[in-house]
Amino acid sequence: GGGHRAENERLFGEFLELCTHLTEDHPEVIPFLCSRHQKATSSFLASAELHNVLSRCLSRVRLRRNKVYVYINELCTTLKAHTLRRKLPLAS
Amino acid sequence: VPMEEEEDDDDDDPENRIAKKMLLEEIKANLSSD
């Protein structure tokens, strides 16, 4: 596995760069997307599925910038579905 | 002279507006649960 990892990282970086300019009115959105990305499983980060979602979101946001939140939301939802469950109990 | 904007309205798309609202609510919920 891992064949798509580097390409996925590159696509995600491109998507972030593009969306940073388009979400300047809400600067909390990009860090949130990054945190979703960081919490995703490593197998998903290297998957063809993520590659497809990123390619689609990237090309769509280029065509329809006024739908940027639709594509960010789609990506966040996809990443959330592949998140590592890491709920640590809080020590009192 | 007032300028007419026709294509440059980010919030004009209803789907985008809903997605934006959902996303911002989720971010807020995440911040408060931390």
CB pairs under 8 A between A and B: 42
Q: Which residues contact A66 (CB under 8 A, 6 or more apart)?
A: B9, B10, B12, B13, B16
Q: What is the C-alpha to C-alpha distance for residues A1 and A88, in angstroms, rounded to an integer?
A: 29
Dig out the tokens for A11 from the structure.
């696509």
State the complex-level ipTM. 0.84
Question: pLDDT per residue over A46-88, tens digit each?
Answer: 999 999 999 999 999 999 999 999 999 999 999 999 998 766 6
Indicate the residue of B12, B23, B30 with minimum beta-carbon distance to A69.
Answer: B23
* Contact yes or no for A72 and B19 at CB 8 A: yes
Mutate to test the interface with A, among B24, B27, B28, B33 (most CBs of A within 10 A): B27
Full pLDDT tens readout for chain B, 34 residues: 665 544 445 567 999 999 999 999 999 998 888 6
B29 touches chain A (CB under 8 A): no
A77 touches chain B (CB under 8 A): no
Give Cα separations from B28 to A13, A32, A61 (angstroms). 24, 10, 24
